[in-house]
């Protein structure tokens, strides 16, 4: 039964065959089983790979004359990969008893995923993609860009995500945080799980005001709500509080600073995503 109604009837997952993407698929299918959702797998054949400069570099690395046209061969391999991923996705969806629809598109990866997922409620992705070993502890470039351009909430999953049994919502009273409060509350209601609302501030009065507002808002949705106020560095405090409360999903605004500050030092969401080992839903 879809307790989430029409709001969560369609979920999307970016799928490139990596371990990280498999984690995102696992989380999406688990959520869909509880929500009665259709899951859309999205695989993008990156057209940049087929550009002349890339092919020329590949030819040189293989010791092949640059004049040899490798584009058809590379295109054939990419199509074979897409077919393999489609079969895997469809098998996983069938095993889970979920209606799955696989979409193969061509273009620039992040914009293509945004376009294909636009009609869905949530987009599930892994922290890093097939080139994860080159990124260390950083977010993959596609995931990082998706967090900045997606118009729907992006759920970033670890390799082995846990079933969502409690949601921690980080709330600071800003516009992005208000949206996170709404989306986190709606998902909690749809999944029938409790919520903890956290505000990080040294101002006790302001903190209590924020938590009172959040409790009233979520209480009107019929949710089981607990609140926490803490001091310290927001990203570190959010991570620690998720562990203390047993949260399986952190919900927060994708941006909280000015654009200039984000470019210079990064957002709190970026910092949390690099540290935590649980799933994070970033709300644009």
Task: Report how far Cα 76 is from the mean position of its chain's Cα atoms.
Answer: 30
CA dihedral sign of residues 145, 150, 153, 154? negative
Per-residue pLDDT at 240 exceeds 70: yes
Mean pLDDT in the chain?
Answer: 86
Count structural domains, the chain.
2
pLDDT for residue 3: 47
* Of 235, 279, 275, nearest in space to 257 by CA: 235
* Of 241, 243, 247, 235, nearest in space to 271 by CA: 235
Q: What is the pTM (predicted TM-score) of this model?
A: 0.87
- Provide the token pair at 178: 């208000």
pLDDT for residue 16: 93
Same domain, 112 and 178: no
* Residue 176 belongs to some domain of the structure: yes
- Provide the token pair at 171: 């709330």
Same domain, 86 and 136: yes
Query: What integer is the mean pLDDT of 1-13?
Result: 76
Q: What gap in Å lies between CA 82 and CA 267, rounded to an integer? A: 34
Percentage, residues of the chain above pLDDT 70:
82
**φ and ψ at 253, to 5 degrees?**
-70, 145
End-of-domain residue from the set 103, 130, 157: 157
End-of-domain residue from the set 157, 175, 194: 157
Per-residue pLDDT at 73 exceeds 70: yes
* Of 98, 75, 102, nearest in space to 88 by CA: 102
Cα–Cα distances in Å, from 146 out to 3, 141, 224, 234? Answer: 28, 9, 31, 22
Same domain, 247 and 129: no
* Residue 162 belongs to some domain of the structure: no
Per-residue pLDDT at 59 exceeds 80: no
pLDDT for residue 128: 64
From the CB of residue 207, how many other CB atoms can be counted at a distance below 10 Å?
A: 22
pLDDT for residue 181: 96
Same domain, 196 and 270: yes
* Of 38, 42, 34, 53, nearest in space to 13 by CA: 42
Same domain, 151 and 176: no
pLDDT for residue 269: 80
End-of-domain residue from the set 157, 183, 203: 157
Query: What integer is the mean pLDDT of 4-31?
Result: 92
pLDDT for residue 5: 54
Q: CATH number, domain at 54?
A: 3.40.50.620
Query: What integer is the mean pLDDT of 185-193?
Result: 97
- List pLDDT tens digits, range 110-162: 999 999 999 999 999 998 655 444 444 446 889 988 988 999 999 999 999 99
Domain extent for 144: 5-157
Percentage, residues of the chain above pLDDT 90:
66
Same domain, 32 and 56: yes
Same domain, 106 and 140: yes
Q: How confident is the model at residue 261 (pLDDT cuts 50, 70, 90)?
A: very low
Same domain, 15 and 101: yes
Per-residue pLDDT at 68 exceeds 80: no
* Residue 39 belongs to some domain of the structure: yes
- Provide the token pair at 207: 């903190």
Query: What integer is the mean pLDDT of 48-77?
Result: 61
Strand 195-200 with 225-230, pairing = parallel
Same domain, 279 and 248: yes
* Residue 234 belongs to some domain of the structure: yes
* Residue 201 belongs to some domain of the structure: yes
Residues 165/193, Cβ–Cβ less than 8 Å:
yes
pLDDT for residue 264: 36
């Amino acid at each position: 039964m879809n307790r989430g109604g029409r709001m969560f009837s369609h979920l999307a997952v970016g799928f490139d065959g990596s371990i990280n993407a498999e984690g995102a698929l696992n989380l999406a299918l688990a959520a869909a089983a509880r929500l009665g959702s259709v899951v859309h797998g999205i695989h993008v054949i990156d057209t940049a790979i087929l550009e002349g400069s890339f092919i020329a570099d590949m030819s040189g690395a293989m010791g092949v004359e640059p004049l040899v046209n490798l584009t058809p061969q590379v295109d054939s391999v990419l199509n074979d990969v897409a077919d393999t991923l489609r079969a895997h996705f469809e098998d996983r969806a069938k095993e889970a008893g979920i209606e799955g629809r696989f979409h193969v598109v061509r273009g620039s990866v992040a914009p293509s995923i945004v376009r294909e997922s636009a009609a869905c409620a949530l987009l599930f992705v892994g922290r890093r993609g097939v080139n994860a070993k080159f990124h260390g502890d950083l977010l993959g470039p596609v995931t990082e860009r998706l967090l900045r351009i997606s118009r729907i909430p992006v759920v970033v999953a670890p390799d082995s995500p846990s079933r969502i049994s409690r949601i921690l919502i980080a709330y600071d009273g800003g516009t992005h945080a208000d949206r996170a409060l709404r989306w986190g509350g709606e998902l909690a209601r749809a999944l029938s799980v409790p919520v903890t609302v956290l505000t990080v501030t040294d101002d006790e009065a302001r903190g209590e005001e924020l938590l009172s507002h959040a409790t009233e808002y979520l209480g009107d949705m019929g949710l089981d709500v607990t609140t926490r106020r803490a001091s310290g560095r927001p990203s570190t405090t959010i991570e620690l509080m998720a562990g203390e409360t047993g949260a399986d999903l952190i919900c927060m605004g994708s941006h909280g600073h000015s654009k200039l500050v984000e470019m210079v030092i990064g957002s709190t969401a970026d910092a949390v995503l690099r540290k935590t080992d649980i799933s994070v839903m970033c709300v644009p």
